[in-house]
Amino acid sequence: MTNLIEKSLLLGFGIFTLTIFASIIIPFLGKIADFNQNGRNDLETYMSFINEIDQGIQYVIQNQDEVYLKIINYPSEINTTFYANIAKYEFFIEEQLCVKIEEYNEFFINSYYHQIPPGAFLLSISCYLSLIKVNISKIN
């Protein structure tokens, strides 16, 4: 009989310990999931921004007499640089610096867009004397 009581007490204590452990760890699991989701959303936002600029550059390369105009949402904490035949994008994902470099057959007029606050901007891409000019200007 005492053997049965000892087993039930051990089982009860094990369930009690697991309940305490679960109540401590579950809130942190939610925060970890939210943190991972935010990093994924940031990456999608950055890639969407880079793709919009890339589409504009490709359009101007194919149609050099036309100007590409589009209103874009500039994401937070991304530095964009255009020089030589390279478009360079620097941004942070989960406190890690990520750099994406796109190379083109045409050359750019050097332009730098660093520490720009997020918001709506006008993207203007045109071609001057076989050089591509990318201009990102704030909409008032």
What pLDDT is recorded for position 18?
Answer: 82
Cα–Cα dist 105/34, whole Å: 41
Average pLDDT value for the chain: 86
Tens digits of residue pLDDT in 6-40: 888 788 888 888 888 878 877 776 666 665 555 56
Task: Assign 128 to helix, strand or coil.
Answer: strand
Residue 78: count of CB within 10 angstroms of its CB: 22
What pLDDT is recorded for position 95?
Answer: 81
- Give the dihedral sign, CA 101/107/110/116: negative
> Model-level pTM?
0.71
What pLDDT is recorded for position 40?
Answer: 63
CA distances 14 to 6, 7, 11, 41, Å, are 12, 10, 5, 40
Check: CB of residue 123 under 8 Å from CB of residue 59.
no
What pLDDT is recorded for position 131?
Answer: 92
Question: In 1-130, which ranges are E strands?
Answer: 68-74, 78-83, 86-93, 96-103, 107-108, 111-113, 119-128
Among the listed ranges 6-15, 57-66, 67-76, 119-128, which one has the minimum average pLDDT value?
A: 6-15
**Would you say residue 135 has pLDDT above 70?**
yes
**Would you say residue 77 has pLDDT above 90?**
no
Any idea what DSSP says for residue 140? -
**Would you say residue 90 has pLDDT above 90?**
yes
Check: CB of residue 82 under 8 Å from CB of residue 111.
yes
What pLDDT is recorded for position 41?
Answer: 67
